[in-house]
Amino acid sequence: MSNGQDGRLTKNERREQAREEARRAREAAKRKERTGKILLQGGIIVAVLAVVLIIVLVIVNSVGPKGPGPANMASGGVVFEPDGSGGIAVARSAGLADGAERKAVDTGAEIQIQAFVDFMCPICGRFELGLTPEEFQASGFPGTMADFAGNSDYIRTLIEEGVASFEVIPLGLLDHQSLGTKYSTRAANALACVVDKEPALAFDYMHELFVNQPQEGSSGLDDNELISILRGVGSSSGDTEMCIRNQSFKGFIADNTNTAASKVEFENLVNDPTFERIGTPIVYVNGNRFTPQYDWSHTASLRTFIQELQGEEYQESQPTPTPTPTPTPAG
């Protein structure tokens, strides 16, 4: 590049200089644009990866393993059996893995009672508590008060005398009957929490859930009330309370409800015109179906049913406890 006589750039030189500066500016702009694109693409990739990660976490949390089920419920239910010293014990077992098959229990007891129950089912409550003398008198039902007595004390006596075991499988069939609170599942989960963490309290807690049973179509008991009942039977465990509030075993109860169909042949019952009348509880004694009913078409009591299964010798050797009035289930 040469200068003019006065030291200034010639017109051509100025033109070339302007072109060179424009070229450099274009290159700088291109570099800046490429860098921006790279950063933008990188940001998009990071954002997409973050969204994907969130989706994966949601899927894993919603459909992934729920964790082990409650201890002492490998059959899907809690098995109450003689403790060998005149009391009641819970048969021990490890918690089931998510989706694991329930394992049937043979306790070896002379009388093995199995009941599928829903804690909002009114007939389940009647099976546990029976009719009070006042309710029986007002009903005008045929038979005697003994035909409509509750079975809690009777079953407790059989276990304590060492002749029976009692398996209770809690279900969540009536969640739709509690105004969206899913009470059946929450109550069943509460029992599972007690069986898992404080099994010595499980029999009494189960009984009190029926004593305080809410009416179908209500919102049911809230978690504080479920925990208050637990405190009433002697619990002081924060772990059990947290288990109830977190519904730690609701997945287990859902699996119970789904797999119960094959066990109790609900498919066949649905096609039975008496299905609505039968409902839960579904009760078996040594594999023989007992259908409790609390209306004009009542069946024999569980006590009579067992005595007939066991024969006259059992009727003579076993005492027949006098039914005691029980509180009317809470509405």
Given this model, what pLDDT does residue 274 score? Answer: 46
Given this model, what pLDDT does residue 55 score? Answer: 41
The string over 225-257, giving b where at least 16 C-beta atoms fall within 10 Å of a residue's C-beta and e elsewhere, is ebbebbeebebebeebbebbeebbbbbbbbbbb
DSSP classification of residue 143: S
- Count how many residues are written for the chain: 331
Domain total of the chain = 2
Is 54 in the same domain as 84? no
DSSP three-state, residue 93: coil
Is 152 in the same domain as 23? no
Given this model, what pLDDT does residue 280 score? Answer: 79
Give the end of a domain, one of 64, 91, 110.
64
Given this model, what pLDDT does residue 317 score? Answer: 40
Task: Tell me how crowded residue 111 is: count the other CB atoms within 10 A of its CB.
Answer: 19
Is 16 within a domain?
yes
Give the end of a domain, one of 12, 36, 64.
64
Is 95 in the same domain as 55? no
CA distance 329 to 278: 20
User: pLDDT per residue over 40-83, tens digit each?
Assistant: 565 555 444 444 444 433 333 333 445 679 999 999 999 999 99
DSSP three-state, residue 110: coil
pTM of the model: 0.72
Given this model, what pLDDT does residue 21 score? Answer: 66
CA distance 171 to 189: 9
Paired strand residues for 9: 3
Is 234 in the same domain as 91? yes
User: pLDDT per residue over 240-278, tens digit each?
Assistant: 999 999 999 999 999 998 877 555 554 444 444 444 444
Q: Which two tokens stand for residue 47?
A: 């954002």
Is 125 within a domain?
yes
Q: Which domain holds residue 39?
A: 1-64
Given this model, what pLDDT does residue 300 score? Answer: 74
Is 85 within a domain?
yes
What are residue 112's phi and psi, to 5 degrees?
-115, 110
Is 116 in the same domain as 56? no
Is 221 in the same domain as 283? yes
Single out the residue of 261, 317, 316, 260 nearest to residue 76, CA to CA.
Answer: 260
Residues in CB range of 1: below 8 A, 6 or more apart: 9, 13, 16
Given this model, what pLDDT does residue 246 score? Answer: 97
Is 11 in the same domain as 109? no
- Residue 107 to residues 77, 78, 201, 231, Cα–Cα distance (Å): 13, 12, 20, 30
- Residue 33 to residues 25, 36, 40, Cα–Cα distance (Å): 12, 5, 10
Q: Which two tokens stand for residue 204?
A: 């009494």
DSSP classification of residue 285: E
Is 220 within a domain?
yes
Is 196 within a domain?
yes
Single out the residue of 113, 95, 207 nearest to residue 167, CA to CA.
Answer: 113
Give the end of a domain, one of 30, 64, 98.
64
Is 83 in the same domain as 38? no
- Residue 27 to residues 5, 20, 37, 236, Cα–Cα distance (Å): 34, 11, 15, 76
Is 255 in the same domain as 135? yes
Low-confidence spans in the chain with pLDDT less than 50: 2, 46-65, 266-278, 313-314, 316-331
Question: For position 214, which CATH number holds?
Answer: 3.40.30.10
